[in-house]
Amino acid sequence: MSTLQPEATDWQQDDLLPLCTPEEFRRRFGPQADPGDETGPAGLPPAVVEQAARIIRQVREAGDRALLELTEKFDGVRLDRLFITKEETAAAWDLLPAADKAALQTAAARIEEYHRRSRPRSWMEPAPDGGWWGQMMRPVARAGIYVPGGRHPYPSTVIMAGIPARVAGVPEVVLATPPRPDGTVDPLILGAAHLVGARLVVKVGGAQAIAALAYGTASVPRCDLVVGPGNAYVTAAKALVYGQVGIDGLMGPSEIAVVADDTADPAWVAADLAAQGEHGPDSVVVLLTTSSRLVTAVRDQLRKKLARLEEEGSPDAEVLAQSLARGAAVVNGDLAQGVDLANAMGPEHLHLYVDKPWDLLPLVQHAGAVYLGPWAPVAFGDYAAGPNHILPTGGTARYAAGLTVATFLRAGSVFAGSATALAAAGEAAAHLARREGLRAHADSLTARLSALVPEGDSGTGPGRDAGEATGKGRGGGEG
């Protein structure tokens, strides 16, 4: 139920969600926003990229010894061992409180069901003019998952990355996460690692963890793919090791854009904005609405929340205040304009908190994830709704997607030729090869064109070999 207050007279001025025009919003948050000349990958400061590069070199040269030294330097922890075994994570799971186990299992079940439905499949079909063509899906052999530490543990990231890897059929998963001050890893992280079947948990964070997963050390097996969010140094390291390994993307600070009308409950809108704002002072929170009264009411709710946090002495108060001050509110003439601004931003999370959200969904072009209506808070998606919470940020939703089962899969094309297929299209292929100046390519084709077998040859069919290629034979299946 909406709790909007009467029209305010000072709604245009505030240090929480400062009001800006649509033009100002596009300049600040749109794709044309200028990050400045002195930026590295993903808009990172050059000093951060250079530090990450030094750390990567150190890990490549000194391996485990570098990991131990860097963990002591940056985390203040002297480790006697770098990793936790699968048997130890199983023991940690057994010791978790029943409520923790139940919450993790409930979230994991929903995440697995969603991701199984979206798993790409291998397929094999007869090709036109004879022969067969298809696609085989294969998982990477080993995936590394980075789980951030710092202010809070993130078992949700373990299951958001680990379960799609399991659904994809990845044989081996290695986790890396920073240790706590006493050198241990939070039991919730270890329990979640057991739940997703991780082989190892490496007690290392930051750029050094990414380097270890990408290049391997005596204790850390080299991975084919590294996924997961992290701080600026983690993001810089992922950018630098890309090409040596695959990555899911360069995830930056958390983002939320709420498109709302006057049916939205300001207390709920404020709670949703604060939920993403509490991730860090560089989080991006914006409200795009048709109602100036909603802007005022949401600000009032945010002030109350900040006051409560300050009374409790919570460090989250300063973090949230900073993120809200960096945010924005825009009052638009209609909801379609609000969605248009959201498209220009390409936010990590887009919440359509309006009376008829399904009417707006076709207008959405760029967003990591879309949440519809009052009963779909982004926080639910962060944990247990089902879709993934590892999403593109910084406007990269214009061309990138969040983590899915496909992140852990490689698609390989399959073609079984035939004389009839070559007769139908071989001369066209040879002509194009000659036009490109690639005579050997043309010769490869004309040699066969001059020796075509009689009509009726359908080429190699999907027998045992083709079945192995797709994993399930002619029908495709999971592969």
pLDDT at 55 (0 to 100): 98
pTM equals 0.90
Q: Do domains 22-34+252-402 and 46-119+139-247 have the same CATH topology?
A: yes
> Residue 469: is its pLDDT beyond 60?
no
Q: What is the mean pLDDT of residues 265-277?
A: 97
- Any bridge partners for residue 143, and if so which? 173, 225
Give the dihedral of Cα atoms 381, 387, 390, 393; nearest 10 deg.
-80
> Residue 477: is its pLDDT beyond 50?
no
> Residue 393: is its pLDDT beyond 50?
yes
CA 190 – CA 87 distance, rounded (Å): 11
Domain boundaries in the chain?
A: 22-34+252-402, 46-119+139-247
The per-residue pLDDT for range 395-404, each reduced to its tens digit, is 999 999 999 9
The reply to whether 172 belongs to the active site is: no
CATH classification code of 46-119+139-247 = 3.40.50.1980
pLDDT at 461 (0 to 100): 62
- Helix (H), strand (E) at residue 85: strand 83-85
pLDDT at 152 (0 to 100): 82
pLDDT at 8 (0 to 100): 38
* Dihedral (CA of 72, 236, 250, 219) sign: negative
Q: What is the mean pLDDT of residues 132-148?
A: 98
Band of residue 476 on the pLDDT scale cut at 50, 70, 90 = very low
Between these two residues, 84 and 471, which has the higher pLDDT value? 84
pLDDT at 160 (0 to 100): 98
**82 burial level (CB within 10 Å; 0-12, 13-18, 19+):** buried
The reply to whether 279 belongs to the active site is: no
The per-residue pLDDT for range 23-64, each reduced to its tens digit, is 999 999 998 655 555 566 778 999 999 999 999 999 999 999
> Residue 151: is its pLDDT beyond 90?
no
> Residue 3: is its pLDDT beyond 80?
no
CATH classification code of 22-34+252-402 = 3.40.50.1980
- 349-353 and 83-85: which strand pairing? unpaired
CA 104 – CA 350 distance, rounded (Å): 25
Catalytic residue among 279, 348, 351, 389: 348
The per-residue pLDDT for range 217-249, each reduced to its tens digit, is 999 999 999 999 999 999 999 999 999 999 999
CA end-to-end span of the chain, whole Å?
A: 48
pLDDT at 38 (0 to 100): 59
Band of residue 331 on the pLDDT scale cut at 50, 70, 90 = very high
Residue-averaged pLDDT of the chain: 91
pLDDT at 466 (0 to 100): 46
pLDDT at 110 (0 to 100): 98
Q: Which of 38-47, 117-126, 366-375 has the lowest mean pLDDT?
A: 38-47
pLDDT at 33 (0 to 100): 56
Catalytic residue among 194, 349, 366, 389: 349
**284 burial level (CB within 10 Å; 0-12, 13-18, 19+):** buried
The per-residue pLDDT for range 405-439, each reduced to its tens digit, is 999 999 999 999 999 999 999 999 999 999 999 99
The answer to whether 357 touches 336, Cβ cutoff 8 Å, is: no
Q: What is the mean pLDDT of residues 441-453?
A: 93
> Residue 150: is its pLDDT beyond 90?
no
**Residue that the structure tokens 């001059």 belong to:** 450
